[in-house]
Amino acid sequence: MANEGCAWSRDNELLRRYHDAEWGVPVRDDALLFEHLALEVMQCGLNWLLMLKKRDIFRRALAGFDPNRLAAFTDTDVENALAEPGMIRSRHKVEALVADARAFLNIQKEFGSFHAWLWNFTDGCTLVYESHARNMPASNALSDRVSAELKKRGFRYVGSVTVYSMLQACGVINDHEPDCPRFVEVMRGADVTRIAE
């Protein structure tokens, strides 16, 4: 029987679609990178399937994940976001995303784009850690560094585990299982660095 993709994606159609179309694809579009970051912030303490189910609700409540609009949120806007039907009612997370949007815009201003700043950590390459085929970590030295830098710049809810998940999602790290068809597909045309650790 042919491999059907990474094990985590096989038991739910929404997870499968996300896995097959988005997860691990190298992203160099700032709008999409901010959406990845926002979803990871909202996910803290919850499960990823719930995030995918509520993604459209988040878009409605959180200004379409537009960092310019989100950065301008007032207390009233935060209240309105929390009142959106089906929204996760965590004031701390919504306020964190407002702060993150402002910090995101500051990085864009300083470096020209968020993706230029982020991908500089890997010299523009997607990383493949050979050891992850046997033992997938929840975080690593790269996510530790990126997390620390984000925190220094005023981001919230960006611990190393959250950042690691974002790096996987946006293709900075390719953590598809080696026999998953997407393992090779997401790297097509990308610069790749393989790391033995």
Give the residues across from 193 on adjacent strands: 127
**Count of CB atoms situated within 10 Å of the CB of 88:** 19
Question: Which residue of the set 23, 35, 40, 157 is catalytic?
Answer: 40
Q: Coil, strand or helix: which one is 194?
A: strand
The one catalytic residue in 18, 23, 119, 129 is 18
Q: Are 96 and 157 in contact (CB under 8 A)?
A: yes
Q: Is 117 designated active site? A: no
- Cα(164)–Cα(34) distance, rounded to whole angstroms? 15
18: annotated active-site residue: yes
Find where tokens 């694809």 sit: 25
Distance CA 136, CA 177 (A): 10
**Active-site residue identified among 23, 48, 129, 164:** 48
CA distance 115 to 119: 6
Residues carrying an active site annotation: 18, 40, 48
